[in-house]
A and B are shown apart, each in its own frame.
Chain A
Amino acid sequence: MATKKKTTKRTNRPAPKKDDKLLETLLLRLVSPLNALPVQTLEGVSYFRPENIAYIRTSPSLKDNDILAYDLDGNEGRLSITLSKLMEKLSPDPRFCKAHRSFIVNAFAIESIIKDPKTGRMEATFGKNVKGRAGISQDGINKVKPLLELAL
């Protein structure tokens, strides 16, 4: 009888620490632990909330070494920092992942991962408001996929 009682207790009230962990994971999915990311635009500085960032890429322009950030509302801003250094800054937030040597993606904002029929490259899309797509390398796929599943 005594053993039976113990089992019932365990199933009804799981360890509180695990609850905390789950709550924290869910909370981090909802809100980023980081401050807003200041990015330069032609009109001034825009403050992108990390959870609202779609992806960040190196500049396709010729001379500058800027990186471009795109948010989910279709806004674009730039930063003069290397992608690796920015990734270091963003590392406390689990949603960001360097999916390609030229791209950092917000895994929680990905709408789909598709293969470009012309180039054969994997690309992430983020909804109709977001300009362009983010490239994902084979190594990047292995990093992004676990993030898309809620690991407990």
Chain B
Amino acid sequence: MSLPVTFGTLSRRLKSGITIPIRVKNGTGYMDSSSILAFRIKARKTYAVTPSGEIPTARGMTWLNPRLKKLGGWVPIGRNYTVNMHLVLKIGKQRGISGYILTFTDGTRLNLLPGYEKPFKKFFEAEELDRIKPISRPFEYLLKMGVRTVETDIRFTPTAELKKIFSTVGGQTVIASDLIASFLWQSVNYIRQGKPSIVANKNVRSLWYAIQPTLGRMGIYSDHYKTLCEQLSEMALQGILSYREFNLREEGKWALGLYNPHVVVLNEKTADDIGLKFIQDQIGISYLATGGQPSTLTMEYFTHALKKKLDALDEMPPLVIIAIVDYDPYGWLLRETAINAMINFGLPRPDAVINIALPKNYPQDLLHFLKNDLTKGKYKVRPAILRKWMKITNGIDGEPFGIPINYLWEDLENIKNLVLDDAKPYLLLQPPMPTRPWEEVTMHMEQLHELAMFTIQKMMRRTKACKK
């Protein structure tokens, strides 16, 4: 009968291999090879590395080698060590150490030196020893960020243990960014396991307050709030986690349109909130006021809500972005960042992107007073960025000038008309919009109620007649 399993795995499972003679006090003892992690040569003597420590063997490697070869699964990892691959549980890398770190079933760690990887690759049928292929993009990014597993809650883990995990090779400095990223990853995993979020209905600052004492214990007193925000934002953009999982409070200025939610007015300033609401009432569009660079938190919440609304429609309408941003390279960049964030969080690429702040939309006689020189002074833009923008827009009559959006907001009717002209071909419902939608919904419900009551009464009359 041929064995359906390999001898090595069977030997490991049954804890039975070949007998290895070892030196004991006043004589020779015997050990089973399946419980030995490795053999080590030190000062011309051979030792068996076991979970309980190193034991000198009675025979040298010359005697052991042919026997181990016959058994299979034993390979050298450097000049001094020959290890039992059946007992290797984990292979990884460590900063500042060349080669790989082998972790055995009992937690013992040995260094696999460069140049000795080949038999391992063959044994484990792996192209790379510390990476599996393929690997998902979010997880690969997580590996790049230096996130590590901590078995206990990082906030309540002893300082010495944290220092061991997060310090540099010298052991002197703790890498704050790694610790923060690991804390965020651990927190979201706790939530996924069903634990309540520690920052539910609070803001990102609360996450910082949660980890700040831990950093203080490690001797890190500088403000790493910005690091935390960056790490969180990157993790959200890469799809590793989401702000919604933390149930964070979001105070972004946005609203979805009731009748034309697929047309999104993207405004650079949050101060024009009332104007945006006015446009929404008139055209039924969605709006998002970014307030400079859009926050990832706001983008995620807005995109999620918009996606949900669009998915509920019978047919997906074309997504249209109407950008009300400054006519300059930074306005253009801001628009692109917002659109990319929307795509990243699950919306399709917009079918049309329309800009309102174009020189043609301003009174031509006032252009001279409104324009800003983008090559000098307050509005100076880096030449490379400016060149690229000029190629796309041609500035104002081929000159590197920009115009701020503020002037257009001075006349709400005018800016509404500009939005309407561009949005018209894409609108599901053309203006004038029902301006009191909730009143209409209530009236409709009342009508339905009356209709239902009429049918019920009719049925009841019939039943009575039948009974008679």
Q: Can you show 16 pairs from A to B with CB atoms below 8 A apart?
A: A27-B4, A28-B5, A30-B10, A35-B124, A40-B131, A40-B132, A43-B103, A45-B90, A45-B126, A46-B90, A51-B13, A62-B245, A63-B239, A64-B136, A64-B239, A80-B134
On whether the beta carbons of B90 and A43 are closer than 8 Å, the reply is yes
Q: A27-B3, A60-B192, A63-B138 are in contact. Are A79 and B124 (CB under 8 A)?
A: no
On whether the beta carbons of A61 and B138 are closer than 8 Å, the reply is yes
Question: What A residues does B103 contact at CB under 8 A?
Answer: 43
Question: What B residues does A49 contact at CB under 8 A?
Answer: 9
* Chain B contacts to A: CB under 8 angstroms: 1, 3-5, 9-10, 13-14, 88-93, 100-101, 103, 124-126, 129-132, 134-139, 142-143, 147-149, 192-193, 238-242, 245
A window 42-100: CB within 8 A of B? 42-47, 49, 51, 60-66, 78-81
A window 22-42: CB within 8 A of B? 23-24, 27-28, 30-33, 35-36, 38-42
On whether the beta carbons of A47 and B88 are closer than 8 Å, the reply is yes
**B194: nearest chain-A partner, CB-CB:** A132
Contact string, A103-128, partner B, CB cutoff 8 A, digits 1/0? 00000000000000000000000000
**A48: nearest chain-B partner, CB-CB:** B89
On whether the beta carbons of B143 and A42 are closer than 8 Å, the reply is yes
Q: Is A20 an interface residue (CB 8 A)?
A: yes
Selected contact of B132 from candidates A27, A33, A35, A39, CB within 8 Å: A39
Q: Is A131 an interface residue (CB 8 A)?
A: yes
On whether the beta carbons of A64 and B92 are closer than 8 Å, the reply is no
Question: What A residues does B137 contact at CB under 8 A?
Answer: 64
Question: What A residues does B125 contact at CB under 8 A?
Answer: 35
Selected contact of A45 from candidates B130, B136, B139, B147, CB within 8 Å: B130
Question: What B residues does A62 contact at CB under 8 A?
Answer: 239, 241-242, 245
Question: What A residues does B91 contact at CB under 8 A?
Answer: 44-45, 47
Given A33-B5, A40-B132; 8 other pairs, CB 8 A cutoff: A39-B132, A42-B142, A45-B126, A51-B13, A61-B138, A62-B239, A66-B139, A79-B132
Q: How far is the CB of B139 from chain A (nearest CB, A)?
A: 6
**A76: nearest chain-B partner, CB-CB:** B149
Question: What B residues does A35 contact at CB under 8 A?
Answer: 124-125
**B185: nearest chain-A partner, CB-CB:** A42
**A66: nearest chain-B partner, CB-CB:** B136
Q: Count chain B CB atoms within 10 A of each CB in A33, A66, A80 and give the residue with the most.
A: A80
Selected contact of A27 from candidates B5, B100, B136, B147, CB within 8 Å: B5
Q: How far is the CB of A12 from chain B (nearest CB, A)?
A: 21
Q: How far is the CB of A22 from chain B (nearest CB, A)?
A: 11
Categorize the interface residue count of chain A.
Answer: 35 or more
Q: Count chain B CB atoms within 10 A of each CB in A28, A30, A63 and give the residue with the most.
A: A63
- A66–B126 Cα distance when bound, in Å, is 19
On whether the beta carbons of B13 and A31 are closer than 8 Å, the reply is yes
- A28–B10 Cα distance when bound, in Å, is 10
Selected contact of A131 from candidates B3, B92, B130, B193, CB within 8 Å: B193
**B126: nearest chain-A partner, CB-CB:** A38
Q: How far is the CB of A95 from chain B (nearest CB, A)?
A: 12
Question: What B residues does A47 contact at CB under 8 A?
Answer: 88-91, 124
Q: How far is the CB of B35 from chain A (nearest CB, A)?
A: 16
Selected contact of B1 from candidates A24, A32, A43, CB within 8 Å: A24
Q: A43-B90, A45-B131 are in contact. Are A65 and B148 (CB under 8 A)?
A: no
- A23–B4 Cα distance when bound, in Å, is 10
- A32–B12 Cα distance when bound, in Å, is 12
On whether the beta carbons of B13 and A44 are closer than 8 Å, the reply is no
Q: How far is the CB of A51 from chain B (nearest CB, A)?
A: 7
Question: What A residues does B239 contact at CB under 8 A?
Answer: 61-64
Leading 4 A-B pairs by shortest Cβ distance: A44-B92, A63-B239, A64-B136, A44-B130
On whether the beta carbons of B88 and A32 are closer than 8 Å, the reply is no
- A121–B230 Cα distance when bound, in Å, is 40
- A131–B149 Cα distance when bound, in Å, is 15
- A38–B134 Cα distance when bound, in Å, is 12
Q: How far is the CB of B114 from chain A (nearest CB, A)?
A: 16
Question: What A residues does B88 contact at CB under 8 A?
Answer: 47
- A39–B130 Cα distance when bound, in Å, is 10
Question: What A residues does B3 contact at CB under 8 A?
Answer: 27
Q: How far is the CB of B160 from chain A (nearest CB, A)?
A: 19
- A33–B10 Cα distance when bound, in Å, is 10
- A107–B241 Cα distance when bound, in Å, is 32
Q: How far is the CB of B17 from chain A (nearest CB, A)?
A: 14
Q: How far is the CB of A94 from chain B (nearest CB, A)?
A: 10
Q: A27-B4, A51-B13 are in contact. Are A78 and B89 (CB under 8 A)?
A: no
- A20–B88 Cα distance when bound, in Å, is 31
**A59: nearest chain-B partner, CB-CB:** B136
Question: What B residues does A43 contact at CB under 8 A?
Answer: 90, 92, 103, 148-149
Question: What B residues does A30 contact at CB under 8 A?
Answer: 10, 13-14
On whether the beta carbons of A42 and B1 are closer than 8 Å, the reply is no
Question: What A residues does B147 contact at CB under 8 A?
Answer: 42
On whether the beta carbons of B90 and A44 are closer than 8 Å, the reply is yes
On whether the beta carbons of A42 and B136 are closer than 8 Å, the reply is no
Question: What B residues does A20 contact at CB under 8 A?
Answer: 1
